[in-house]
Amino acid sequence: MPVTRIINSFDPLVRLLLLAILLASAVPVSEEWFDTARFSSNAGIFLLFLLNGLRLPRAEVRRGLLNPRYLLPLTVWCFLVMGMAGLGLSRLSDSWLPAEMALGLLFLGLLPSTVQSATAYSSLAGGNVAASVVAAAVLNILGVFATAPLLALLAGTQSVELDIDALQRIATILILPFVSGQILQTRLGHYIKEHKYLVTWLDRGVIALAVYVAFSSAVSQGLWTSMAMHVWGAMLALIAAFLAFGFIGAWLAGGLLKLDRGTRIAFLFAGGQKSIAIGAPLAAVLFPPSVAGLLLVPVLIYHLAQMIVSARIAAILKPAPVIQPAQ
* Confidence at residue 77, expressed as pLDDT on a 0 to 100 scale: 96
Consecutive H or E run containing 152: helix 129-155
Query: From CA 214, how far away is CA 281, in angstroms rounded?
Result: 10
Give the pLDDT confidence score for residue 283 in this predicted structure. Answer: 86
What confidence category does residue 75 fall into, taking pLDDT thresholds of 50, 70 and 90? very high
The pLDDT score that the predictor gives to residue 170 is 78
- Measure the CA–CA gap between 130 and 142, rounded to whole angstroms: 18
Residue 239 and residue 101: Cα distance in Å, rounded? 12
- Please give the Cα distance from 327 to 308 (Å, whole number): 41
Of 3.40.50.300, 1.20.1530.20, 2.60.120.330, 3.40.50.150, which CATH number belongs to 11-317? Answer: 1.20.1530.20
Q: Residue 7: its pLDDT value, please?
A: 47
Range from 58-62, 142-146, 252-256 carrying the lowest mean pLDDT: 58-62
Number of helical H runs and strand E runs in the chain: 17, 0
47-56, 71-80, 109-118, 262-271, range with the lowest pLDDT: 47-56
Q: What is the DSSP string of 107-135?
A: HHHTS---SHHHHHHHHHTT--HHHHHHH
Average pLDDT on 283-301 reads 84
**CA 212 to CA 21: how far, in whole Å?**
6
Specify the pLDDT at position 139: 86
Name, in order, each residue with C-beta under 8 angstroms of 92's C-beta and a sequence gap of 6 or more.
Answer: 238
DSSP states of 222-260 as a string?
TTTTSS-HHHHHHHHHHHHHHHHHHHHHHHHHHHHTT--
152-211 per-position pLDDT tens digit: 888 875 556 556 676 677 778 877 888 888 888 888 777 777 777 777 788 778 888 888
Residue 61 pLDDT > 50: yes
Q: List Cα–Cα distances, 46 to 37, 49, 140, in angstroms.
A: 14, 5, 16
| Mean pLDDT (whole number) for 73-95 | 93
| Side-chain-side CA neighbours of residue 215 (13 Å) | 24
Q: pLDDT tens digits for 36-56?
A: 888 888 888 888 788 877 876
Q: Average pLDDT of the chain?
A: 82
- What is the pLDDT, as a whole number, of residue 79? 95
Q: What's the pLDDT tens digit per position in 225-259? A: 767 788 888 889 999 999 999 999 999 999 999 99
Per-residue pLDDT tens over the stretch 98-138: 888 889 999 999 999 887 788 888 888 888 877 887 787 78
Q: Which residues contact 264 (CB under 8 A, 6 or more apart)?
A: 127, 251, 254, 255, 257
pLDDT of residue 163: 61
Q: At a CB cut-off of 8 Å and minimum separation 6, what does 147 contact?
A: 79, 107, 110, 111, 112, 278, 282
List, for residues 1-30, the tens digit of each pLDDT value: 444 444 455 677 778 888 888 898 888 888
Handedness of CA 279, 132, 238, 2 (dihedral sign): negative
Q: Bigger pLDDT: 6 or 66?
A: 66
Predicted local distance difference test score (pLDDT) of residue 45: 81
Whether the per-residue pLDDT at 322 is higher than 70: the answer is no
Q: Domain locations in the chain?
A: 11-317
